[in-house]
Amino acid sequence: MWIDNLCRQARRLAALALAGGFIAAAAPASAALSLTTLHDGGNAAKVQYQVDTGGGLVFKVMAYDSGSSTQSKGDISSLLYNGVQYTDGTRGSQLNSGFDFLYSNVSAVDVQAQMLSSTGVATPASTANGGAVTGGAYVKVTVTVFSSSGKVLRHYYMAKAGEPRVYMGTYFTEEPDTLNLVRYILRVPIGALGKGGPAGTPGGLAANGSWPQDLRGTDTTVEASDVFGFASGSANAGQTRSKHYSNLRLKDWQYFGGTNSAGSVGLWFYRDNNEGNSGGPFYRSLLNQITSTNNELTYIVNYGEGQTEAFRLGVLNSYTLMFTAGGAPAAPDTNWFSVMGLDGYVPAAGRGTVAGVGLAGTDPAYSYTVGFANAQAQYWAGANLASNGFFKSTGMRPGTYTLTVYKNELAVYTGSVTVTAGSTTSLNTLTLNADPASTSALWRIGNWDGSPAEFLNGGKLTTMHPSDVRMNSWLASTYVVGTSSPGSGFPACQWKDVNNGRVIQFNLTAAQVRNLTLRLGTTTDFNGARPQITVNGWTSAIPPAPSKGTRNLTVGTYRGVNRLYSYDIPSSALVAGTNTLTINAVSGTSGTGFLSPGWSYDAIDLVVTP
């Protein structure tokens, strides 16, 4: 039979050669890359492009609209790897909720397919039913949508001969406005990909043996339509699951995905340097959701929840869908993108580097990250404290960037740097000048590091809902400075309708009774919440309201805008001996329970007024 197959392949190649098809030196039949045009039902108006990578992967992209919002132009309608189907054909895998639903009042979608040589010479797909183009090095399928204002979004599906991968790239000059986000969702039948990732990876296995985003078995709705729980009587009663809890900080991961039940096949999304996203190195967002029918792998280009800066436009955001034998994927080589004619692509030669000699004023108890951001791109690099804080960021687009040094997740230095293509910008030692911890305090609760992890429930915020039974009670008793501990006595979050009126008691000597300043740091806030304090009989003014954002503390993140509130307490309000401080969340916005106005803590301390 294999001889018959070889003969059929040879006859097809010969026919294409006579027709002027794109043919290079023949590769072994098992490694041939092909692009085939299919007419569904024999109808020339119903075109699908089938790509056989020659590496065991065959996928199809729809080039017509089936009339269903779950099956439309630009979708991956089939993803066969070694004969097993890895996409739900009844729903399709697509950008957002379909390419025809990206922009308001726009549904026109164009799909074109090409075979390319190793030098980028392109031959379009055949127009005949069953017509195949072979012999090239790469395939590119381009999906194009224009907004009503004429701005463009282009999404690319690409294949490289012999690889079981789908390389993707998304470029847009206007943010899609129907969902106000850009994400690619691959819907994989649960029978083919029944497991999430391993522990320590985004969406990886939790300590209790489950995946935080695995909804199987949940039967109650905890919040909105995306946080679920288990009814009483279940082994997991009171626990919560949500797609939101599959997150990790961007700087901590390169890939996510899952495996089949036998662990013999892994399917992963591997990200690029994330230069076109928004939110920086510590941003968290959903990555996948496991249901009784599908394992939904969701690659976030940018997202609507918890954003701290404007979306970036005009950048090619690339990511690769990779099959493995079950193990973790290795970084894909994308240098060949330079011959693919991709909008927004900048080759290595058009990029620059920033290298810093080191950092002065660091605390060895913390890790430091150096971030770079402007309106078009974002980057980050870890600082090597063993080498005096040396850092290096490569592959940056030319331009001027705001440079920010973070102590864990707290900005402790801000400056500026200019990147030039083809060269390295060298920086002298940067002296950190904005670390609140550098000021001596009479007392301090928590750490100035931009994270609530050291507080009660702080380590659980990203993997479960605040109502989860695995959380400790949010109603902690009075915190006594010098006796109580942040990890057991001070909740990581405070909500107006849950645990308002946080009470702290502290002692002062007669010599310490003077004008003092209370500093209170938050890592994010919700519904306009801000703290007002009372010390003994004195009450502070109410700070201005922060801008309102999306849900945050209930969807797996504490990451937002770090704010530092300062309250100058007059000496007349203080006494030698025991003083009582009360912190209240105030807001003009209503809300109940964990959706009431609130915030997450960074640290609180009392210092001598400057």
Asked if residue 285 lies in contact with residue 300, where contact means CB atoms within 8 angstroms, the answer is yes
Count Cβ atoms within 10 A of the Cβ of residue 459 and give its class: 0-12 exposed, 13-18 middle, 19 or more buried. middle
Q: What is the pLDDT of residue 5?
A: 36
Q: What is the pLDDT of residue 19?
A: 33
**Average pLDDT of the residues in 148-153:** 97
**Which of 15-19, 185-189, 218-222, 394-398 is predicted least confidently?**
15-19
Provide the token pair at 427. 């920086």
Give yes or no for residue 358 having a pLDDT over 70: yes
Query: Can you tell me whether residue 310 is helix, strand or coil?
Result: coil
> Which residue in 80, 53, 62, 63 sits closest to 158, CA to CA?
53
Asked if residue 467 lies in contact with residue 594, where contact means CB atoms within 8 angstroms, the answer is yes
User: Could you please report the per-residue DSSP string of 173-234?
Assistant: SS--TTTSSEEEEEEEETTT--B-PPTTSTTPPPTTSS-TTB-TT--EEEETTTEEE--TTS
7 membership: H or E segment, kind and range: helix 2-18
Segment 226-266, tens digit of pLDDT: 999 998 899 999 999 999 999 999 999 999 999 999 999 99
Q: What is the pLDDT of residue 589?
A: 95
**Residue 437 — pLDDT band, cuts 50, 70, 90?**
very high
Distances (CA, A) of 227 to 218, 487, 554, 556: 10, 26, 9, 10
Pairing of strands 479-480, 502-508: parallel
What is the distance between the alpha carbons of residues 68 and 90, in angstroms, rounded to a whole number?
Answer: 10
Provide the token pair at 61. 């992209």
Q: What average pLDDT is seen over the chain? A: 94
The rounded Cα 253 to chain-centroid distance in angstroms is: 9
* pTM for the model: 0.93
Extended beta strands in 208-324, E state:
220-223, 227-229, 240-242, 255-259, 266-271, 288-290, 294-302, 317-324
Provide the token pair at 170. 């998304």
Which bin fits 382, alpha (ψ -120 to 50), beta or left (φ > 0)?
beta
Pairing of strands 399-407, 410-419: antiparallel
Per DSSP, what are the bridge partners of residue 273? none
Q: What is the pLDDT of residue 69?
A: 62
> Which residue in 72, 262, 289, 286 sits closest to 188, CA to CA?
289
Q: What is the pLDDT of residue 66?
A: 84
What is the distance between the alpha carbons of residues 339 and 347, in angstroms, rounded to a whole number?
Answer: 10
**Average pLDDT of the residues in 333-343:** 98
Asked if residue 395 lies in contact with residue 373, where contact means CB atoms within 8 angstroms, the answer is no
Give yes or no for residue 404 having a pLDDT over 50: yes
Q: Where do runs of H (alpha helix) occur along 386-508?
A: 486-489
What is the distance between the alpha carbons of residues 102 and 81, in angstroms, rounded to a whole number?
Answer: 29
Q: What is the pLDDT of residue 67?
A: 79
> Which residue in 465, 463, 290, 432 sits closest to 361, CA to CA?
432
**Average pLDDT of the residues in 407-429:** 98
Give yes or no for residue 17 having a pLDDT over 90: no
Q: What is the pLDDT of residue 3?
A: 32
Asked if residue 576 lies in contact with residue 509, where contact means CB atoms within 8 angstroms, the answer is yes
Residue that the structure tokens 């702080």 belong to: 458
**Residue 23 — pLDDT band, cuts 50, 70, 90?**
very low
Asked if residue 531 lies in contact with residue 496, where contact means CB atoms within 8 angstroms, the answer is no
**One-letter amino acid of 559:** R
* φ and ψ of 75, to 5 deg: -70, 150
Neighbours of 29 (CB within 10 A): 14
What is the distance between the alpha carbons of residues 359 and 369, in angstroms, rounded to a whole number?
Answer: 11
The rounded Cα 282 to chain-centroid distance in angstroms is: 9
89 membership: H or E segment, kind and range: none
**One-letter amino acid of 527:** N
Query: Can you tell me whether residue 17 is helix, strand or coil?
Result: helix
The fraction of the chain above a pLDDT of 90, given in percent, is: 91
**One-letter amino acid of 54:** G
**Residues comprising the chain, all counted:** 610
> Which residue in 293, 295, 290 sits closest to 213, CA to CA?
290
**Average pLDDT of the residues in 386-408:** 98
> Which residue in 316, 312, 322, 305 sits closest to 257, CA to CA?
322
- Find the Cα–Cα–Cα–Cα dihedral 573, 574, 578, 579, rounded to 10°: 50
> Which residues, 6 or more positions from 350, have their beta carbon under 8 angstroms from its beta carbon?
397, 398, 421, 422
Count Cβ atoms within 10 A of the Cβ of residue 25 and give its class: 0-12 exposed, 13-18 middle, 19 or more buried. exposed
Provide the token pair at 285. 């967002």
Q: What is the pLDDT of residue 21?
A: 35
Domains and CATH numbers, the chain: 189-320 (2.70.98.10), 348-431 (2.60.40.1120), 436-608 (2.60.120.260)
Q: What is the pLDDT of residue 304?
A: 84
Give yes or no for residue 300 having a pLDDT over 60: yes
- Maximum alpha-carbon separation in the chain: 99
